[in-house]
Amino acid sequence: MSNHWYRDPDRLKAELDKYPTVAAAARANGFDPKLFQTWAKKFGLAREARGAAQKQAVTQATPESTEAVLAQENAELRNALARARENQTRDYRMVAELVSAIPQKEARYEPADLGDLTGWREHEFVLLWSDLHAAERVFADQTHGLNEYGWDIMLERHDKLRKSVLSFKANRPYPVKRLRIMGLGDMVSGDIHDELRETNEKILMETALQLGLDMSEWVESFIPEFEEITLDGIVGNHGRTAKKPSAKNQHSNFDWMVYHIMKLRLAGNPSITVNVPKSPVELVNVMGRNLFLFHGDGVRSAMPGVPWGGIIRRSNELRKTYEPAFGHIDHFVLGHWHEANVVFNKSIIVNGSVKGPDEYSLKAFGGGADATQLLLVFNEKYGMTETAYLDLQGRVIA
């Protein structure tokens, strides 16, 4: 054979068939095993060679040697089975001893007597409502299918929000006569960013008018279920009329107009009260607890996501400023960050959004929280007793 005979697939196959492995064939011919491996893979002969060698070994085996091998394997399997049965018997015996040594408790099937449920204390629902970004479009093909948003989807999510609140109420034993809706701002998409102005579904004036009308009907739909409904509305940053944030006249904001349209529209309903301050913050009392409402923009942060450090510092400053005049603040309630959360012994409550993740959140932070709003439950004696995260996204993970 020539020095490069292994480059001929037929010659290489004939040589490999003589040995159980490619490496053995290479060493028998004085070549580096890696060299034979390379050419065997190239011609697809590696597995074929092993199969041929094994077949040849079986063919050359005598009946006597085959019978001896099978007898040995049978003996080994019997020994393994005997050891397994011995271990299993020992385990059964151990369990039996434990069962006999531990006395059984007497079975109790009667439920505890909770008394007359009609005597439960009254509770109040607080629905956090914010970050609708009405008229903004979120495109499914630009978010890889993670989210889609428009006016119709916004209305569908509000219908789901209403059903969630009523379902929660129907499945609670205590009476709930009052619903407090806390509007925390960013109700409209606004024009403060050029890309929003270009892609918004409606112009800003139309957005504010239609949103006020549509959301009035939404609030009105709760009337049959609650004796009293109160809406508190503060402004966010997206509805402002100037690109640059200002300290003066912060109510020059289309959120403020939306709330006032709702107030006018709902004025004929004696069970509904709408409060719209010019101040960007509001202090409200629910079942004896003071809640401080603010949108949440202006909190400085160099980190993506919710800037908890900045929010804590802002809350501490607000506490020092407002508590001497208005008394103890039990909860700071805000929106803006689109990620629902209750932290620091329930003292800081951040609402989610109706919009959900969008192109900006995916580009800037790599993600975004699903559309969620918070429902809080208050009791006069125990304060905030429950928190419900109301999912509006409806994402199903297969």
DSSP 224-255: GG-SEEEEEE---STTBSSSS--STTTT-BHH
Cα–Cα nearest to 377, from 119, 158, 118, 120: 120
Q: Is residue 81 included in any domain, yes or no? A: no
Could you say which of 42, 60, 78 is where a domain stops? Answer: 60
Which pLDDT value is given to residue 398? Answer: 45
Q: Do 128 and 235 reside in the same domain of the chain?
A: yes
In this structure, are 56 and 204 located in the same domain? no
CA 71 and chain centroid, separation:
60
284 lies in the same domain as 371: yes
CATH number at residue 125: 3.60.21.10
Above 50 in pLDDT, residue 52? no
- Residues for the chain: how many in total? 398
Say yes or no to pLDDT of 267 above 70. yes
* Domain total in the chain: 2
Residue 5 is which amino acid? W
pLDDT above 70 covers a percentage of the chain that reads: 89
Confidence of residue 378 (pLDDT cuts 50, 70, 90): very high
Model confidence pLDDT, tens digit, residues 226-251 = 999 999 999 999 999 998 999 999 99
Residue 27 to residues 16, 19, 55, 273, 320, Cα–Cα distance (Å): 11, 10, 21, 93, 85
Report whether pLDDT(64) > 80.
no
Residue 196 and residue 324 share a domain: yes
Same-domain status, 168 and 21 = no
Residue 201 lies in a domain: yes
Is 68 domain-assigned?
Answer: no
Q: Is residue 86 part of a domain?
A: no
pLDDT at position 265 over 80: yes
Q: Where does the pLDDT of residue 170 fall: very low under 50, low under 70, confident under 90, or very high at 90 and above?
A: very high
More confident residue, 7 or 117: 7
Max mean pLDDT among 2-11, 65-74, 306-315, 346-355 falls in: 346-355
Which residue range forms the structural domain that includes residue 325?
Answer: 121-391
Residue 50 confidence (pLDDT): 47
Q: Is residue 273 part of a domain?
A: yes
Q: Does position 48 have pLDDT exceeding 50, yes or no?
A: no
Are 195 and 341 found together in one domain? yes
Same domain, 141 and 50: no
User: So what's the pLDDT on residue 114?
Assistant: 60
Q: Is residue 276 within 8 Å of 259, Cβ to Cβ?
A: yes
Question: Closest Cα to residue 224, out of 168, 162, 274, 285?
Answer: 162
Asked if residue 272 and residue 369 are part of one domain, the reply reads: yes
Residues 237 and 369 grouped into a single domain: yes
The reply to whether 114 falls in a domain is no
Do 130 and 26 belong to one domain? no
Q: Judge whether 302 lies within some domain.
A: yes
Residue indicated by tokens 């892609």:
199
Q: Give the residue-averaged pLDDT of 203-220.
A: 96
Give domain status of residue 47, yes or no. Answer: yes
What percent of the chain is predicted at pLDDT more than 90?
62
